[in-house]
Amino acid sequence: MKIVATDIARSFGSTRALSGVSITLEPGRVHALVGENGAGKSTLLKILAGAERPDTGSIAIDGKPYAPRSLAEATALGVRLVFQEITINPSLSIAENVFSGQLARFRSRGLLNQAAMNRAAQALLDTLAVDVSVAQPLARLDLGQWKCIEVARALSTDPRAVLFDESTAFLNHREADQLLAAMRALGDRGLVVAFVSHHLAEIDAVADQLTILKDGRKVGDFAAGELDREGIQSRMVGRDLSRGLYPPRPEARISSGPMLRFNNVAADGLEPTSLSVAPGEILGIAGLKGAGGERILEVAAGVVRPRGGSITVGGAPLAAKTPAEGWAASIAYLPGERTTEGLIVDASVLDNLVMAKPPRRGPFFDRTKARAMAQAMIARLLIKASSEKARSGSLSGGNLQKVVLGKCLAIDPRVLLLNNPTRGVDVGARTEIYRSLREAAKEGLAILMVSEDLNELIGLSDRILVMREKRIAASIDDPAATSEDAIIRHMT
């Protein structure tokens, strides 16, 4: 199967998501679609998979016109989409998830033939070379394995093309590796494979071919290895990124006592831990999920109560028993899940920006002040929104994350706790977030940042703690002199 799309255009209201994009997907090759949020990559993929219809342009499969009106139609023609979101139903079995929608295939005399279904599901999973047994309960598997089950579901209709829409967005690097290996396996079997990704490391790992999109237009098609990472990034962003993603570290540190200090703090999921963050310092925390990094943030924020030890903020003891007490002590917390923990997508940008500390006059909400605050924050963080009144859900991922960061910075915090501050954020927005964080640090803010992105930890942190099995395994005082591999060695 060979898919050729010609001159595809699609608008949403006044926004042109795609204009005149042509792309050719060859069998047996893994094709990466690369671009910033809003570049049109997902829209293109959805058009190919029948989830959206193009305004103009045409698609042909092996020379025959192809114009699916729904995902189901595309499936019948051999094209499957794996979504960005997790679509596993945790209350079903693995095999039921693989064959959801086609359970009727395994009906015998009105009942479901579980054994046959399990065998068939296992066979599909085995072709992906993932270590999943259909007998396992879903809760024991990690998100990467869940995603592989979704791939098996896609394969259950025997497709000739599988398209992945940012499917690694919610996975950590170990989980993502499994999915990437599965993509490679599909490519090697001669299927058409295309995926959307922000992560250049993923493109390096599996892509044979890449197409860069920017603002709904195609920048170009490239073979793997034709461009280096900087070459890809500067074409995605449309400007030279040679100055680097990360702002320079300041020469001199602010010399004063620690702003946040943990003294043998223990909690559920955290062995007694001591650490301190100085004003102006960005302390990075590396570690696998469950290694204790996120728990440190949650204890400091008042989300999880410590079992022992003491915490001081600015020298004074603090025992935030609720997040409200944490915020009241000027500790701002940016949680790991943007849309379920960070901000309300149905609320306006303004509503979210001032949510932590609404300006008030007595019991009344001060609208004038709130508007000024929101506009100042939009300008400071370069948030791209039509106005402060825009519904947050209309913003792209990177801008949503800037809103969450703005909500934190709006209280003028002393301590900022960050859980994966740039997850699913494109390069352009990421540089702006890094710049804002460094500027805030220069003003005396103490920042504690947990991240799965090791490059980010190395590039931005002044110091890195590596967590392993609920305790600090290593402290790296000069991140500039370390490497991803060195950190991974401490982690595992």
Interface positions with other proteins (CB under 8 A): 11-15, 17, 37-38, 40-43, 46, 51-52, 301, 303, 322-324, 326-328, 333, 335, 340-344, 346-347, 351, 355-358, 360, 363-365, 375, 378-379, 382-386, 390, 393-396, 399, 407
Q: How far is the CB of 175 from other proteins (least distance, A)?
A: 23
Q: How far is the CB of 34 from other proteins (least distance, A)?
A: 14
Q: How far is the CB of 12 from other proteins (least distance, A)?
A: 4
Tokens 């702006």 found at: 432
DSSP-H helix ranges across 110-248:
114-127, 143-155, 173-188, 200-206, 229-237
Q: How far is the CB of 3 from other proteins (least distance, A)?
A: 20
Q: Are 421 and 432 in contact (CB under 8 A)?
A: no
Q: How far is the CB of 331 from other proteins (least distance, A)?
A: 9
Nearer to other proteins by Cβ, of 144 and 413: the residue is 413
Tokens 């579980």 found at: 114
Burial of 141: CB neighbours in 10 Å, binned 0-12, 13-18, 19+: buried
Nearer to other proteins by Cβ, of 196 and 446: the residue is 196
- Whole-angstrom Cα distance, residue 5 to residue 491? 44
Nearer to other proteins by Cβ, of 105 and 361: the residue is 361
Nearer to other proteins by Cβ, of 405 and 454: the residue is 405
The dihedrals phi and psi of 416, each to the nearest 5 degrees, come to -120, 125
Nearer to other proteins by Cβ, of 115 and 324: the residue is 324
Nearer to other proteins by Cβ, of 269 and 323: the residue is 323
Q: Which residues contact 370 (CB under 8 A, 6 or more apart)?
A: 350, 354, 358, 359
Would you state the torsion angle of the CA atoms of residues 91, 94, 97, 100, taken in this order, to the nearest 10 degrees?
A: -110
Closest CA to 165 of 179, 152, 177: 179
Q: How far is the CB of 216 from other proteins (least distance, A)?
A: 9
Q: Which residues contact 221 (CB under 8 A, 6 or more apart)?
A: 23, 24, 209, 210, 211
Task: HSE, CB side, 13 Å, CA atoms: give it for residue 381.
Answer: 30
Nearer to other proteins by Cβ, of 190 and 238: the residue is 238
Q: How far is the CB of 325 from other proteins (least distance, A)?
A: 8
Q: How far is the CB of 409 from other proteins (least distance, A)?
A: 13
In Å, the largest CA–CA distance within the chain is 78
Measured distance between the N- and C-terminal CA atoms of the chain, rounded to whole angstroms: 42
Nearer to other proteins by Cβ, of 55 and 204: the residue is 55
Q: How far is the CB of 38 from other proteins (least distance, A)?
A: 3
Q: How far is the CB of 336 from other proteins (least distance, A)?
A: 10
Q: Which residues contact 453 (CB under 8 A, 6 or more apart)?
A: 420, 422, 423
Q: Are 311 and 261 in contact (CB under 8 A)?
A: yes
| Amino acid at position 477, single letter | D
Q: Are 162 and 151 in contact (CB under 8 A)?
A: yes
Ramachandran area for residue 31 (φ above 0: left; ψ -120 to 50: alpha; else beta) = beta
Q: How far is the CB of 376 from other proteins (least distance, A)?
A: 10
Q: How far is the CB of 150 from other proteins (least distance, A)?
A: 19
Q: Are 457 and 245 in contact (CB under 8 A)?
A: no
Nearer to other proteins by Cβ, of 167 and 461: the residue is 167
Q: Are 292 and 313 in contact (CB under 8 A)?
A: no
| Amino acid at position 478, single letter | D
Strands (E) across 299-458 are located at 308-313, 316-318, 331-334, 360-361, 364-365, 415-419, 446-450
Q: How far is the CB of 414 from other proteins (least distance, A)?
A: 14
Nearer to other proteins by Cβ, of 11 and 157: the residue is 11
Ramachandran area for residue 154 (φ above 0: left; ψ -120 to 50: alpha; else beta) = alpha
Nearer to other proteins by Cβ, of 38 and 68: the residue is 38
Beta bridge partners of 435: none
Nearer to other proteins by Cβ, of 134 and 378: the residue is 378
Nearer to other proteins by Cβ, of 128 and 447: the residue is 447
